[in-house]
Amino acid sequence: MINDAIIRAALRMRLATALCAAAVAALAFVGAAMAASVASPDGRIVVTVGVEEGRAYYAVAYDGAPLIAPSRLGLVFEDQHGFDRHLRIAETAASSRDETWEQPWGERRFVRDHHNELAVAFEATEGPARRMTVRFRVFDDGVGFRYEAPRQRNLKRVNIIDELTEFATPEDSTAWSIPSRGWNRYEYLYDAGPVGDIEIAHTPMTLKTAAGIYLSLHEAALVDYSAMSLKQQRPGRFKADLAPWSDGVLVRTETPFRSPWRTLHIADKATGLLNSDLVINLNEPNKLGDVSWVEPGKYVGIWWAMHIRDRSWGRDTIHGATTQETRRYIDFAAEHGFKGVLVEGWNIGWDGDWYNHGSLFSFTDAYPDFDLEALGAYAMERGVRLIGHHETSGDVANYEAQLEGALDLYEQVGVRAIKTGYVADGGLIERVDENGVRKYEWHDGQFMVDHHLRVIREAAARKISINPHEPVKDTGLRRTYPNWVTREGARGQEYNAWGQPPNPPEHTAILPFTRMLSGPMDFTPGIFDLEPNKRPPLREDMVRHDPQSRVETTLAKQLALYVVLYSPLQMAADLPENYEKRPEAFQFILDVPADWEESVALNGEIGDYVTFARKERGGEDWYIGSLTDENARTLSVPLEFLDADKTYIAEIYRDGADADWKTNPYPIAIEAREVTRETVLTLPLAPGGGAAARLRPAGK
Ligand code: NOJ
Ligand code: CA
């Protein structure tokens, strides 16, 4: 057992370290063991790193009480000595940073990176000489640490066959998680319940401890490594479980290498998780140089029509991606100021069950009724751009073989953003190995982590941004590659067209505290016809989806999603005709920006409700989005974030009288009133409801 005295000694050091920003680390000898510690700038989080009986561990305390009990660190290699035992601390190095950096686009323009760092170099006491550093960064909002193996004589090529990292969380927590290694990738409903019920979970996995502390485990900067899931070993004690290659190896690498950062968001309020930049702060700065061609914005598209069976992806009398239909969407986009028009089903390969025939996709040959060149030009004449679409059905071999030509073609017709897709039952991806043999790999294994970055780099070379669906999870790489604008990676709106069950009202009250901690999501909000499957089929030989599949929100909540669920590409997902029927509510979608100067979560509890305020990038207007689960509630929202000495007009879109997602989802009250920073807005939210508001300076 690890000596409690080490932890206590480290806690006593907290005061000393908080007093002196530079001297953040201290080495303590307790018996034969050795430990070092580092505190957050505000002193509330203290990380202790040590060796006990030759095994490396870390522990985290928050406000003087243990939060993460001593948890193992280490890596195990195939056919050679790794860093699992016989270790000692060779040296430690402490440093601090307090810098502010600017995002080209994002939830906020300026991000403060304020942390204390402790790098602990471990060396082997038996076997061939070898060294590895574990680098800790401790922020006021959490902790990141990663493994770094330098180039060294006795370690060159390395196959990692186990990562020993543990997170010994409090046993009596409630957890919000989705299962890992399931056939449906990240597209599961979140389970909320005792942490002990979890077997293996994706990250971010979020906990609320019995003491009321919020903790979320994730990773940052997942590059050339396999994604980490969390497998419960004993109650509360999770171990890193990396997605294996098809031959069982977890990560193939060579020194020097670095693991992704293992991250712990820590907060005393649920909103503390949301008002955190931990993940992007742990990523490398922009590597693409000038990225002014990456354009946040809103888009419409030939998309929902397929999901609700009005149109087809493949050849049919109801084919969606025709030249004529695309022109209709381009005209609608131009008329209303949308920047993009997504078109799915334009290329050969969609006939039949496309999700099982990825090898049939051509990414350059259009169906005969779709004129790509003409439509690209038509769109640009109207100040709009086509948004490209590459569905692979998981056949990455087929996609990679065509990738460069496919990107070249889109570049030529003026496309600046492409949605990619990796629908594949089982979550397994096809590749062809060096010997021409087909292999199946996990959607979040090292092969796909590398594939996604390959696409990002090739696309960047052509000034194209990427929005992958069925992606690998976000780990903040948008900082390093700002053309990796958004992605799916959770159950999105599409489940409300055909999901059994569809997304329940609490789903979007859980996402901000789980999936969204990783980064932006292309959820595709804005459905105005909330029960599309109640309509009769278009043709006798067709059937609608079960009407149980419907949008389980009020109309006002669809508007709230534009502010709550951040994405720099934000879709207005419904059909043009459904927007034309409700011009007053549609006005909010037209007004709301997709890029922000500042963002702040004002209130929230996981799975219950949440409110965000965001200020438009380069402007004066603020926007509010507030939503609830299946329970009605009234939220008070103080407008303290507004400028003093300014009066604002608040245009409020809230649930109308007797609104209820289930029985009466459409009533919406739209009103304008004067507010100042002294105002406390009262927002009554219906069951499954929400509210949205635009606050603009009066007289503007
Ligand atoms: C799944 C995506 O999430 C969805 O948006 C897309 O329409 C289909 N795949 C087809 O590519
Ligand atoms: Ca999907």
Confidence of residue 428 (pLDDT cuts 50, 70, 90): confident
Mean pLDDT, rounded, for 192-196: 98
H or E stretch at 454:
helix 446-460
H or E stretch at 323:
helix 323-336
If one residue of 494, 521, 522, 567 were mutated to test the ligand 1 pocket, choosing by the most ligand atoms within 8 A of its CB, it would be 494
Neighbours of 673 (CB within 10 A): 12
pTM equals: 0.96
pLDDT at 630 over 60: yes
Q: Nearest bound ligand to CA 522?
A: 1
Q: What distance in angstroms lies between residue 520's CA and the mean position of ligand 2's atoms?
A: 15
Mean pLDDT, rounded, for 108-137: 98
Confidence of residue 455 (pLDDT cuts 50, 70, 90): very high
The pLDDT score that the predictor gives to residue 22 is 36
- 59, 47 contact by CB (below 8 A): yes
pLDDT at 15 over 70: no
Q: Nearest bound ligand to CA 355?
A: 1
Mean pLDDT, rounded, for 641-665: 98
Q: What whole-number distance in Å separates Cα of residue 679 and Cα of residue 538?
A: 50
pLDDT at 614 over 80: yes
pLDDT at 12 over 50: no
Active site residue 488: no
Q: What distance in angstroms lies between residue 203's CA and the mean position of ligand 2's atoms?
A: 18
Of the candidates 323, 386, 322, 390, the one whose C-alpha atom is nearest the C-alpha of residue 354 is 390
The protein residues having their C-beta less than 5 angstroms from ligand 2 (an ion) are 469
In the chain the domains, ranked by start, together with CATH numbers, are 4-281 (2.70.98.10), 297-582 (3.20.20.70)
pLDDT digits (tens, 9 = 90+) for 75-105: 999 999 999 999 999 999 999 999 999 999 9
pLDDT digits (tens, 9 = 90+) for 588-598: 999 999 999 99
Of the candidates 695, 224, 682, 673, the one whose C-alpha atom is nearest the C-alpha of residue 480 is 224
If one residue of 423, 467, 491, 569 were mutated to test the ligand 1 pocket, choosing by the most ligand atoms within 8 A of its CB, it would be 423
The pLDDT score that the predictor gives to residue 16 is 37
- 555, 530 contact by CB (below 8 A): yes
pLDDT digits (tens, 9 = 90+) for 546-589: 999 999 999 999 999 999 999 999 999 999 999 999 999 999 99
